Structure formats: structure tokens, C-alpha cells
Amino acid sequence: MKDGKTSDSLRSLKALADETRLRLFQLGRSFELNVNEIVETLGMGQSRVSRHLKILAEAGLLTSRRDGMWTFYRTAADGPAARFAAAIGEKDRGIFARDLARARKILEDRNRESRRFFDAIAGDWGKMKRALIGDAALDPLLLRHVPRGEVAADLGCGSGDLFAVLRRKAGRVIGVDRSPRMLEEARRRHLSDSRRGILELRMGELESLPLRDGEVDCALMCLALHHLPDPGRGLAEAARILKPGGTLVVVEWSAHQDETLRTRFQDRWLGFEPQTLEDWLTGSGLSVRTKTTLSLPTGLKILLFRGRK
């Protein structure tokens, strides 16, 4: 056993005995990035970056996740990576700090690009969404799983297609979206409810929600998670805003290979495996009470998970 650990340590030391690989290791401690984002962050050629990534992955210091044609990398959470992360210490000093700042700016630029995209298509969003889900009866499905309560939140509400569903189950609805134009469209469509104070619209990111701890009885996140760089963080935020005993309903694409959704709808993730969603939910302190799948005429499948805090 000791010989095995010594061998792992030597392999890790050799892998990290290079400035570029050490930068990649430190970068992966903060972000999960695809190869293009890493290339842009470090300002190096793709072949050079890919060679270093391979060495780190073979040493067990990085993990990779294949999503369609994209591969994402981050520092491994356990094993030799955890030991070396503890030994190396801070990841935000010197050249590492510059790398983190550059990566943060790249992701922020991606977010701004996505926001501009949804601002531009706000008026056509209903038609575009129908092209994806066809005549799938989402409303009855949601009505079966959204519980009654005083306050419900639609996280990533877009132009407010699901407000009518939530209004049947809650006395007040809070809609959150990062696109100003989407929120304007939602306000226009539901002006009466907004004026009566039973609908409130808030602009914000799903990974940093503009809601207080325990503010809502139920939260709905419908086909929004796959746009987030860090879906696990988004689900943890959704769990945070729930009252004890509150419910989170998540509707998402099942894992698929339709790369066109990246360009047509700015999708970052090509859906999710059911176990991945369940692990994120339970990791956020929710117990999973319902799991169901709905097949669409387009060939895509929708997952619905219901978790209780």
C-alpha cells in the first residue's frame, strides 16, 4: 500500500513539475472549463494545452467530463489531487491569480453573450420553445408535482410561460431571470398580476439568487439548469431559498447528443444523467421524492425531479 502511495506521489510530483501544468491544476480548483476556455485563459495553443491536460489526467490530478463534442476539466476532489492542493495552498496569488481573473472574465463574457441572446429572442421565445418541446403537456405534469403554498418562485422564468401554473398553487409568485428583455416580456404578459402585487419579478443569476434564505415554499427550475456553468451551485442556491419542508421541482433535458442546441439556444450542457441530478439534489440537502421521464416527439427526453428540504 505504501509503495502504491509513493508511486502515486512521485507521478503527481512529476506531473506538477512544470509551470503550465501547475497553472492548470490551480485553475481547475476554482473552475470547470472546456478546452477552448482553457486555451483562451492561458493564451496557449490547443495542442500544447491538450498535452498537459492529458498528463495531469493520467496522474489523477484532473478529472474530465465529455459532453457532446466538448470536454471539460477540473481538479480532482480526492486522492493525490486533494493532498497536493492542501500542500500547495493558496490558488489566487501571482500568476495563478491572473489566470483566475482571466477565466472569470471569460465566463462573465459568456454570460453576457447568453444574456444578449435571450434579450434578442424574448419576443419569440414561446415559439422557439414550442419547436423544442412540441405539444408536450408540461402544465398538467407540473400541476401534479408543484405543491400548494404561500410563495412560489420560478427560477429562470423567461417570459413567464409557467406563471399561470404556479398561480394555481401559490398566493404569490416570484419570477427570476437574468435577461432584462425576458422580464419585460413577462411583465407585459402578466401586467394585472404584477400590479396587484401577486407577481414579483427580480433580475439575477441562478447561481446567486436575489432571494432570502427560506423565502419560498416551492421553487421551480424548468429547462434552465443546462445554461449554467455550475449547475450544482444553482441547485444549492435553489435549496437555500426554500423554507424547511419546502419543495424544489426541476425539469431538465435528459443527456443527449444534439450539438445544435449549443448554437440555437446557448446551451452549455447537453442535458444530464438522472444520477447526476440526484447527486446534486441530495448534496444540496434535499431528499428526492419523485423521478419521472417524459419522451418528446422531437426525440429529446425530459426529466422531472422533485426534492424536499
Question: Which pLDDT does position 227 carry in this prediction?
Answer: 94
Cα atoms found within 13 Å of the Cα of residue 114, Cβ hemisphere only:
22
Examine the domain organization and report whether 106 and 150 are in the same domain. no
Question: Which pLDDT does position 2 carry in this prediction?
Answer: 46
Examine the domain organization and report whether 72 and 92 are in the same domain. yes
Give the strand pairing for 242-253 and 216-222: parallel
Q: Which range, of 24-28, 129-133, 212-216, averages the lowest pLDDT?
A: 129-133
Is the pLDDT confidence value at 5 over 60? no
Examine the domain organization and report whether 102 and 174 are in the same domain. no
What would the pLDDT profile of 268-292 be if each residue is shown by its tens digit? 999 999 999 999 999 999 999 999 9
Residue ending a domain, choose from 80, 113, 146: 113
Examine the domain organization and report whether 91 and 167 are in the same domain. no
Q: What is the CATH number of the domain that holds 249?
A: 3.40.50.150
What would the pLDDT profile of 34-64 be if each residue is shown by its tens digit? 999 999 999 999 999 999 999 999 999 999 9
**Which residue range is the domain that position 155 belongs to?**
123-308
Cell numbers standing for residue 293: 421521464
Examine the domain organization and report whether 197 and 253 are in the same domain. yes
The model's confidence at residue 4, banded by pLDDT at 50, 70 and 90, is: low
Examine the domain organization and report whether 160 and 275 are in the same domain. yes
Examine the domain organization and report whether 49 and 149 are in the same domain. no
Examine the domain organization and report whether 92 and 131 are in the same domain. no
CA distance 103 to 95: 12
For residue 169, what is the DSSP state?
T
CA distance 99 to 274: 33
Examine the domain organization and report whether 70 and 144 are in the same domain. no
115 contacts 264 by C-beta, under 8 angstroms: no
Q: What is the CATH number of the domain that holds 22?
A: 1.10.10.10
Examine the domain organization and report whether 226 and 295 are in the same domain. yes
Residue ending a domain, choose from 113, 139, 173: 113
